Chain A
């Protein structure tokens, strides 16, 4: 049985499920892929199959012909949340054609700065953001730069997918993306959206993106994360951000840290934060975002 903290969040999620089976970012709003996936992960094994399957069927219906996923019913463009749909397939143990098409789309997508043309052009023009173009990550929107959050979500998805996809490219992209995250670490030891500095001046890290970066770096053989974990623990102690506390909680628990249960009151209007808070609670499903190779 879930504890009170998690149970009230799961109850709130059940109350916020839309008629189409999905969840909006806010209760009563239209369904989006991101809050739908995290609500399904939070409710995994905690609700009856019919309600879970309605959400799952909605996610499945949003796959585009090229293998990517759309963000919601209205948009028809490939979206970064494709990575989340792949993670959900892994959790459900559904390794069918849809899953493989999604993985192939993810592997074919890179930050614009890391395309062959951009890397060639980059030999001749100033790289004012200071990003190392060799270490390819993933963008929010195809045709733009790679950033920490979509790269971390893609790493979680590909690391979970790895045992089910026979692909050297998948392993190469994991190594490159881990390298990208490590090279964009802020001087204070955490991560922000993905720029260490602007005009030579260091930029600060944020709680939510530090949590996400650590999630992407789970099982990274190159990373010595003790300093990063210390920074994350420090941010967790300082921040009041629901999203920040939830992402830090998920990643720190997955990295073996023993954390007390959060005590902030429920804010049911915000569905995404509610689902992530449920996942971040002890036994709340954060382990679903661990790479397949890691021990439970």
Chain B
């Protein structure tokens, strides 16, 4: 888990020969990270024991921690599967509560200002009667400085985010028309408060989508992921793609490793996804760095349709 310098690498010597000997020092992840994949055929099964098993198999102990569950809510369309399914969110809430955590659910959608309206459309209120007591709109929460981030000397984030001991990313498994795939790392865009940075959160685009994904994941390191891959989205994601039944949930503390595993299940080469290339500095992306638990990704792989702009990221 300790980053090491690349300076001693032969590639650096080649840089010296090319007159670029002062290449900035870049760390690279060394070690292994566990990622657990469990089958879940539908949202109608009891997901709580499955999530408890995934947490346990991943070696996480959330007892006594303030846990922020961060689902992915973007827009709502009855015809497709854009958002993290409410049953996954409710089951994760109950599982973390059963393990002794102090749990809150929070999201800051990037397009829609009415977060509560979106949660209502997406079925969160009908599936979770006590949502009002446990949900925070991260776009309009009280804020505090998170220090320098995303090219800003003083970046502001929701207090709920900054006070969490553990941020649990609960994304939908989807393709993405700008980033290739949107999974647990990209889901951190919803941590950025719209009340400061707008809808869409345009400073993230100016900083570069891939750069912003990496920067947010460098800043927020106490993490866990539960990826809703029961039904994902393929094609022109994250909004206008088609539902893709996958029948899996993926778990892990190393979000880069979880996303790399999900990519492999989706038939996407994670080494060709730009933000995962950079994330190799702090997370496990290479196959031999990831200790796969539960299902093997190759056994549950179902290739997601890719738009032509991302046909090159197909896993061979």
Residues of A with Cβ closer than 8 Å to B? 24-26, 29-30, 32, 34, 71-72, 74-75, 79-80, 112, 139-141, 143-145, 147, 149-150, 192-193, 198-199, 201, 203-204, 206, 208, 239-244, 267, 269-270, 272-273
Contacts and interface: CB of A to CB of B under 8 A. Distances in A.
Interface residues of B, number: 36
B111 A192 contact: yes
B195 A201 contact: no
Contacts of B205: 144-145
A241 B197 contact: no
A30 B203 contact: no
B198 A140 contact: yes
Contacts of B240: 198, 201, 203
A206 B195 CA distance: 18
Contacts, number: 98
Interface string B103-143: 00000000111101110110000000000100001001111
A240 B116 CA distance: 10
17 contacts: A24-B142, A25-B141, A26-B137, A34-B195, A74-B145, A79-B196, A139-B198, A140-B197, A193-B111, A193-B200, A198-B240, A199-B309, A206-B112, A240-B120, A242-B114, A243-B117, A244-B117
B117 A141 contact: no
Nearest to B121: A240
A143 to B, nearest CB: 7
A72 to B, nearest CB: 8
A147 B199 contact: yes
Contacts of B112: 206, 208
A198 B142 contact: no
Contact of A144 (B75, B203, B309): B203
B177 interface: yes
Given A199-B307, A241-B114, 18 more contacts: A25-B140, A26-B140, A29-B142, A75-B156, A75-B196, A79-B196, A141-B197, A144-B205, A145-B202, A150-B198, A193-B200, A201-B240, A203-B239, A204-B75, A204-B77, A242-B114, A244-B117, A267-B116
B236 interface: yes
Contacts of B203: 141, 143-144
B43 interface: no
B195 A71 contact: yes
Interface of B: 75, 77, 111-114, 116-118, 120-121, 132, 137, 140-145, 156, 177, 195-200, 202-203, 205-206, 236, 239-240, 307, 309
Nearest to A269: B132
Contacts of B137: 25-26
A75 B114 CA distance: 23
Contact of B117 (A26, A139, A193, A240): A240
A150 B200 CA distance: 11
A193 B236 contact: no
A34 B205 CA distance: 24
A243 B113 contact: yes
Given A26-B140, A198-B177, A144 B206 contact: yes
Contacts of A149: 113, 199
B190 to A, nearest CB: 15
Contacts of B239: 203
B179 to A, nearest CB: 13
B200 A147 contact: yes
A147 B132 CA distance: 30
Nearest to B200: A193
Contacts of A34: 195
A197 to B, nearest CB: 10
Contacts of B132: 269
A25 B137 CA distance: 10
B202 A140 contact: yes
Nearest to A147: B198
Nearest to B204: A144
B177 A199 contact: yes
A71 B142 CA distance: 12
Q: Which 7 A-B pairs have the closest CB atoms?
A: A140-B198, A241-B117, A25-B140, A144-B202, A243-B114, A241-B114, A30-B142
A201 B237 CA distance: 12
A188 to B, nearest CB: 13
Nearest to A28: B142
A32 B113 CA distance: 16
B109 to A, nearest CB: 11
B140 A244 contact: no
Contact of B202 (A71, A141, A198, A206): A141
A74 B199 CA distance: 20
Contacts of B199: 140, 147, 149, 193
B177 to A, nearest CB: 6
Nearest to B140: A25
